[in-house]
Amino acid sequence: MKPLTFENQRSIFLSLIITGLAFILTIFVFVTGTYRSHAQIISNPTKTGETGTFSKSGAVATFQGQYVDENQDVLIARISIEQNNRTPLPYKASDYLVTWSGKDNLEGIFGRYSTDGDLYVVIPHPERNKVYDIQITNLNYMGDDDEEADSQKLVSQNTGDIQLDESVSESLSTMAEIGQEGSQTVNKEAKTDSIAFHMILNPSSPNEKEYKIKTIKTKSHSLITVKNNKAEFDFKSYWNAIYRQPQISKYSELLQKSVNLEATYQDKYDEAKATYDKNDKDESAQQRMGNYSSKIETEQTNQNSYSAKLKNYQNLDYDDSAFSDYSTKIYSNKK
């Protein structure tokens, strides 16, 4: 073996230094990336469409996103519920404990739309960069051992329209923003029947769809109203913006699209008929007439349906009792 020369030694030494620096740089990039990723997670709200489960009752909760008014006087979270048939979640606000990670109790509104609709959390005058980690615990779980086999038999609420035998609040709650997808988190070992999520007025990723905050517009630009020198949440405007108006817009658009389609099909039918009138042996023209005639009838049927549904939602009145049961305190879990 040849002895190491000075040049060889320097080469090995430099290689070791470069390898060491590369290793340190890799660790630095990994730690920095992990920190940034964690920081981004905790400075964004829960993703719209993400689901969690009340592990005892089996109710699946879907985070439907955050809302603010134009003045940003309130920050709202809406959670849709797909509940177990035998152990439905309670509707009374007093049957829940709502907590957050702050050291002091927080003024906030929590309740459920009627007896079977969405859950909602309203934080008045939210601090711009504060993260509100919220936990909702069902205190009134009434399960039994015999229901285990049925725990996954969830009531399907993906109904399209309000029927005479359906609950208005349940139907509207499930129709608004149907189709969101997310990952479902189930904690089978949980000792409480609860879900958790976080809210923030100023997300670090405000333009990403899953974090985008929706704005509710009102004449006063605020969902806080003052009655008899007392500040109150404007439930009627909230209900109209979240539940009623989207359905009016939906069926207005469907109706107009159907009218436009009918007009297009009518033009095509007229062209085919003109061809057939010139040559009644033109089988292709005859087939096109039959095809477009059928499509015209379909759109006319659709228009009758859309018009009826549109009128139904236009005539739908706000019911004060649907939002009459709510709590006004979010308790600190540090105490």
217 and 110 in a common domain: yes
pLDDT of residue 34: 41
- DSSP state, residue 300: H
Q: How far apart are CA 124 and CA 132, in angstroms?
A: 12
How far apart (Å, rounded) are the C-alpha atoms in residues 173 and 59? 15
Q: Do 185 and 140 share a structural domain?
A: yes
Asked if 75 contacts 121 with a C-beta cutoff of 8 angstroms, the reply is no
Residues 66, 38 share a domain = no
pTM, full prediction: 0.75
Residues 190 and 92 reside in one and the same domain: yes
- Quick check: 85 and 151 in contact, CB under 8 A? no
Residues 6+ apart with CB under 8 A from 52: 60, 61, 63, 184, 185, 186, 195, 196, 197
**Domain total for the chain?**
3
Examine the domain organization and report whether 211 and 265 are in the same domain: no
Residue 51: both structure tokens together: 């689901």
Nearest 5°: phi and psi at 28?
-65, -45
Question: Of 43, 89, 329, 327, which is closest to residue 195 (Cα–Cα)?
Answer: 89
| 126 shares a domain with 60 | yes
Provide the pLDDT for residue 319.
96
- 59 with 39, same domain? no
> Does 270 lie in the same domain as 135?
no
Statement to judge: residues 58 and 182 lie in one domain: yes
Structural domain including 182 reads: 50-235+323-332
Pair of tokens at residue 18: 């470069």
Confidence (pLDDT) at 21: 67
Asked whether residue 91 falls in the same domain as residue 158, the answer is yes
pLDDT tens digit at each of 335 positions of the chain: 555 555 555 566 566 667 666 666 656 544 444 444 444 445 899 999 999 999 899 999 999 999 999 999 999 999 999 988 888 999 999 999 999 999 999 999 999 999 999 999 999 999 999 999 999 999 987 555 444 434 333 333 333 343 434 555 665 554 443 233 333 444 445 578 999 999 999 999 988 999 999 999 998 899 998 778 778 999 999 999 999 999 999 999 999 999 999 999 999 999 999 999 999 999 999 999 999 999 999 999 999 999 999 999 999 999 999 999 999 999 998 86
